Chains A and B, each alone.
Chain A
Amino acid sequence: MSDIVHGPPIGLPPDLVVGKAVETVDRVPWHMKKLIESKVWDYATGKGEVVAVLDTGCEWDHPDIPNPKFNKSFINGQSPKDPQSGHGTHCTGTAVGRNNIGVAPEAEMATVKVLSDLGRGNSSGISAGIRYAVDNGATIISMSLGGGGRHPPTEANIDYAWSKGVFVNAAAGNAGYNGSNTIGHPAKYDKTMCCGATQENGRIANFSSGGREIDWAGPGQNILSCSNSGSGYRFMSGTSMSTPWLSGTLALLRELMRRSGRPLWKSIEEFRKALSQIVEDRGPDGHDNRFGYGVPTFEDIIETIVRPELWT
């Protein structure tokens, strides 16, 4: 995975312009640097995993985005192949984009449109989208969305996902944190992994929502990923951006567990216990309301999961 090839950049600041054949990790987006330096892709690239991105759709004609394994729209009259809103395309790129844009570049992806081209949706569509993704072979569900109150059918379908071994990862929200819980649904549900967002300096992003449900955090500010305008790239910020980064990380984790012959975590409680071994604790000691258990580090993931004998 050392060959880093990008299409022509569109409108990027000079220090982050990604050339036709970038060869050093110094010039890849900040949220990918540590991952590439860790050489985790020598061990896992997401192969065999299917990340379903429940969002506004995806422009899968982008050269860095694979064709979807399956796709469906739950928005009347709007196609899952989305040239209108770049949100879903950006998120998909961060999770599974090729050429050093995505965390799990050999994972398959699925597009489930549960938000309109304007980025709006409702709980019924999201609930149906989760069920559809699980029943069609997703192994990870990534939801960079939130809002509204508790919706029991959605929670039931998230429970259903876990009963089938499918991980559900969702954005905490962009409401910031001043001591009161600001996490929205679906991230707030018991069996959802709740994602906060960090900045390049390692601190939590100001906009990142907080509360006891936060499980982990990942890069979410000034994230460079695929644009829906053909072959270009764009920066976006939000817990929407950290969520697919963490979903890609989940794909790597799941592949590593499979390949090392270890049983996958059977419950989210089991997975949360394992988290402390693969994240770097940030903020106050132990679990806290901004970083959760911490930020995953690929060195820890390799050290914890990969057995040297497996690769000899």
Chain B
Amino acid sequence: MKYGSKKFSVAASDAAATVRDASLVLISSMITGIGLKFTEGGFSSEIQGALVIVTFAAVKLIWKTVTDTRRASSL
């Protein structure tokens, strides 16, 4: 163990990936459901405004995860 830094095993990373994928599916479903109700006029204007912000944040999270923004560069 090097200087007490955190270790990951293959199993742990697989589990992390599974949780991440499940979260993405859940968030995607929520966005779809909310979007349907939104277009049907089922929310007040205040809630609609809040939903736009929340949806934007969720889409950004999905985009960051899918595109892997952990960038590296030459040194």
Contacts and interface: CB of A to CB of B under 8 A. Distances in A.
Nearest to A163: B10
Given A190-B7, A191-B2, A213-B5, A121 B16 contact: no
A148 B73 CA distance: 9
B72 A156 contact: no
A56 B5 contact: no
Contacts of B7: 155, 190
A174 B71 contact: no
Query: How large, as a class, is the contact surface on chain A?
Result: 35 or more
Query: How large, as a class, is the contact surface on chain B?
Result: 20 to 34
B9 interface: yes
A152 B74 contact: no
Contacts of B72: 114-115, 120-123, 126, 145-148, 185-186
Interface in B57-74: 68-74
A121 B71 CA distance: 6
A28 interface: no
Contact of A119 (B6, B9, B74): B74
A145 B3 contact: no
Interface string B19-41: 00000000000000000000000
A150 B7 CA distance: 11
A17 B75 CA distance: 25
Contacts, number: 92
A210 to B, nearest CB: 14
A239 interface: yes
Contacts of B12: 152, 156
Contacts of B6: 150, 190
B13 A156 contact: yes
A154 B68 CA distance: 12
A160 interface: yes
Contacts of A189: 5
A137 B13 CA distance: 24
B3 A213 contact: yes
B70 A56 contact: no
Contacts of A159: 8-10
Contacts of B2: 190-191, 213, 268-269, 272
Top 10 A-B pairs ranked by shortest CB distance? A148-B70, A119-B74, A152-B13, A123-B70, A240-B75, A147-B72, A190-B2, A171-B75, A156-B13, A87-B74
Interface of A: 55-56, 85, 87, 114-115, 119-124, 126, 144-153, 155-156, 159-160, 171, 173-174, 185-186, 188-191, 212-213, 238-240, 243, 268-269, 272
Interface of B: 1-3, 5-10, 12-13, 16-17, 68-75
